[in-house]
Chain A
Amino acid sequence: MNPELRRNLWLELSTHRLVAMPAVLFLVFVLFASRNVGDWAEIVFTTAIGFFVVIVHLWGAYKAAEAVTDEVRARTWDWQRLSALDPWRMTWGKLAGATAFTWYGAAICMVAMMVAAIGGAERRSAAVYICGLVALGVTLQGAALAASLQASRKSSRLGQRVGILIVFPVAALALFTLTGAQPPRLVAIEWYGHEFESLRFYSALAVVFALWAVLGAYREMARELKMRLLPWAYPAFALFLAAFIAGFAHESIAFRSTFALSGLLVSLTLAYYGIFADVTSAMSLRRLALHWKARHWRRFLEELPLWVAALAMAFVFALLCTQILSSSAEAPLAILPRSAGLYPFAVLLVGVRDCLILVFFALAPRGRGGPEAVTLLYIALLSWILPAVLAIAGMGAVAKLLMPFGAFNGWQAALVMGVHVAIVAALVAWRWRRWDRAFRGA
């Protein structure tokens, strides 16, 4: 038996808990069913769904998120990091073990759902729906575990919470979408020219996202266990999301532009997530520089911050967008004027500038917490607060130099953002030289 799973089972499944969970759930189902005996099956089915969501999607995700942070707090995490268990065994041991009690409750809810569905016309749909709920549970718990592994490496409070802050709204959206697709509210969804029943489509999608979430948790666990990994997962996920979104384009001509545009936006979103979720510190940057100098290319790639890989992918998608814009007027990029040819690059440069701001603060003399909060402040200042204040003060022309979108054509916007990047890069270079001098003197 997986030792990590067994340790969790020792902690999670006491006799008292094993007895209490079914007793409480049974009483609840009886109570709800007794309110309308004539329609008990529908009531038990709905109640079981509600309890499943609370137990697996909320409580289970919370337990998965606490699986590592609890150990860090109790100072037992070093024992685990020192173990000979490979990352995959550690990942599934934690994922299944820390949430074992919630899945025990979920299994009871599923039995209740199946009992309620017996004899109903929607049996098959109910089974698909349950599969979707289970897959969504795995998705949320996997993402929560990955986020908590990232959080365990962060020093700032914002950095420790960003994963969880993002996981829960996404979870709410996914849950809303899936529950909205349950019978009898089935609608057809067109994807890559094929029609799918919404419930089947969302359930299948939940399964695919569950695989991505478990992969994410595995890779974060592997990084925590000091395994060396090349940074292919973020670009692959961006590619997957772009291809997934492009499937909703109605005409074949729009596919390329939807793919390119969504790829650019997804890559930039992942880069921003990486800014806050991954560790970018003076020391990690210093190690990168040493690997670069020593020409340890593989180690250099292995230690690249996640946002670099996401930005590299964004660059590829920006190139594709520009090529589409300059060659044809495909929807949805057709809404932009031809002069907007370099807009995608201007957007990319905003991401590059913001990542460089993070690097600048990561190189700051040691302060309290990490560089994420102050980076967020300066991003907000440069992108929203200052342009708005300047515009209100009647200095619209200066405001456009801070946020050049809409005011200039693509070339001009890219040029303005290029100047932004150059200024921040110069500041980064200045701080880097100070670091270098300090280390040479050390």
Chain B
Amino acid sequence: MSSTPLSAPPIAKVSGLRFEYPGVRALDDVSFSLERGTVTALVGPNGAGKSTLLRCVAGLETPALGEIEVAQIDVLEAPRKAHRCLGYLSDFFGVYEALTVRQCLQHAGAINGTPESELTAAVERTARRLGLADRLDVQAGTLSRGLRQRLAIGQAIIHSPQLVLLDEPAAGLDPEARHALAVLFRELQAGGMTLVVSSHILAELDEYSTHMLVLRAGRVVEQRELRPDDAHHARRMHLTLARADERALAVLSSQSQVSEVEVDGAAIAFAWQGEAGAQAALLRALVESGLEVIEFGEVHENLHDSYLRTLAEPRP
């Protein structure tokens, strides 16, 4: 499991969480923390405990043991206070069908602590963000599935929470609506919100997730950053030569930033921990040593690959 930088306190911290259903330990000693401004893909097989975990963090379920902090507020001790800092969208949500979109958003904002003086502006801002501005006076019950989903997300974020938990937010949406959702999530992240998104559609999560949290049988089996973009993280690189050449290994071994070299004929993979300038220098050294380089670059492991690799690892 990766550790988070300690420059700012994590937005959420879960420790020793245990939740039991009759005969089943849905969550077993779950501990993790979430960095601010990240988008964490919460993934795992069916029944892994994803929805239960989100409901516990949201303060909707009481765990048997453990502690949950959101924005340094103890969720179990002060759930109402914590709710001002978080938004949650359940996988099975409903909307007030007899109210208009404006009334739904106004109510959601008011019950989540948005001051009355800021409510109108918050409603309009949220409606614009979700593409609902032209439907503010339409009854929620008449909206399509996709628009209802947008309204529900609007209800979860209208009070500008620091942490947003979304359980299967794209379920039942068409590809266009899913793409719009991905764009929205990136905007929310850019605006400083931290998101946790649980979904089975890994390709969609890959569009906007920065971190991955894998649950299996109620336990966290991995939590890590998906695409570290700084020099402090080791990245996987690949080098392809026109033909196999032993000099490549010698050049790579001479570099202190290179480790875990794997040679497969003309294809070489290795771990690299260095800046862009050092990376250019390595390429220059390879070419100047007479190697016929035809490919050199970073291996981008997508969420799907990471997830399958994690699940393939033996259970602790």
Q: Report which A residues bind B (CB closer than 8 A).
A: 1, 3-4, 6-7, 10-11, 74-76, 78-86, 225-228, 281-283, 286-287, 290, 294, 365-366, 438-439, 442
Contact = CB atoms under 8 A, between A and B. Distances in A.
26 contacts: A3-B110, A4-B111, A7-B96, A7-B103, A11-B98, A74-B96, A74-B97, A78-B88, A78-B93, A79-B155, A80-B111, A82-B87, A83-B80, A83-B112, A84-B83, A84-B113, A85-B80, A226-B59, A227-B79, A283-B21, A283-B22, A283-B64, A366-B23, A439-B25, A442-B23, A442-B28
Contacts of B81: 84
Nearest to B83: A84
Contacts of A438: 23
Interface in B62-120: 62, 64-65, 76-77, 79-81, 83-84, 86-88, 90, 92-99, 103, 107-108, 110-113, 116
Given A3-B111, A4-B111, A290-B64, A10 B103 contact: yes
Contacts of B87: 82
B20 A85 contact: no
Given A6-B110, A79-B93, A287-B62, 20 more contacts: A3-B110, A10-B103, A74-B94, A75-B94, A78-B88, A78-B93, A79-B155, A82-B88, A82-B112, A83-B112, A84-B80, A86-B80, A225-B79, A282-B22, A283-B21, A286-B64, A287-B64, A290-B65, A439-B20, A442-B24
Contacts of A281: 22
Nearest to B21: A283
B188 interface: no
A438 B21 CA distance: 11
Interface of B: 20-25, 28, 58-60, 62, 64-65, 76-77, 79-81, 83-84, 86-88, 90, 92-99, 103, 107-108, 110-113, 116, 155, 159
A192 to B, nearest CB: 41
A48 B21 CA distance: 53
Contacts, number: 96
Contacts of A84: 80-81, 83-84, 111-113, 159
Contacts of A4: 111
B98 A365 contact: no
A82 B59 contact: yes
A75 B22 CA distance: 24
B111 A85 contact: yes
Contacts of B155: 79
A82 to B, nearest CB: 5
Of B76, B84, B96, chain A has the most CB atoms within 10 Å of the CB of B96
A434 to B, nearest CB: 10
Contact of B90 (A74, A78, A80, A226): A78
Given A6-B110, A85-B80, A86-B80, A76 B96 contact: yes
Of B24, B77, B79, B95, chain A has the most CB atoms within 10 Å of the CB of B79
Of A1, A6, A7, A225, chain B has the most CB atoms within 10 Å of the CB of A7
Contacts of A294: 65
Contacts of B90: 75, 78
A192 B182 CA distance: 71
Contact of B25 (A85, A226, A365, A442): A442
A226 B63 CA distance: 11
Contacts of A11: 96, 98-99
A438 B20 CA distance: 11
A74 B98 CA distance: 11
Contacts of B25: 439, 442
B119 to A, nearest CB: 9
A11 B79 CA distance: 28
A76 B99 CA distance: 12
A79 B95 CA distance: 9
Contacts of A287: 62, 64
Contacts of B86: 82
A7 B96 CA distance: 10
A286 B111 contact: no
B34 to A, nearest CB: 18
Of A6, A74, A226, A439, chain B has the most CB atoms within 10 Å of the CB of A226
A286 B108 contact: no
Given A286-B64, A366-B23, A83 B103 contact: no
Contacts of A228: 77
Nearest 10 A/B pairs, CB to CB: A75-B94, A3-B110, A83-B111, A442-B25, A84-B113, A76-B94, A74-B94, A84-B84, A226-B79, A84-B83
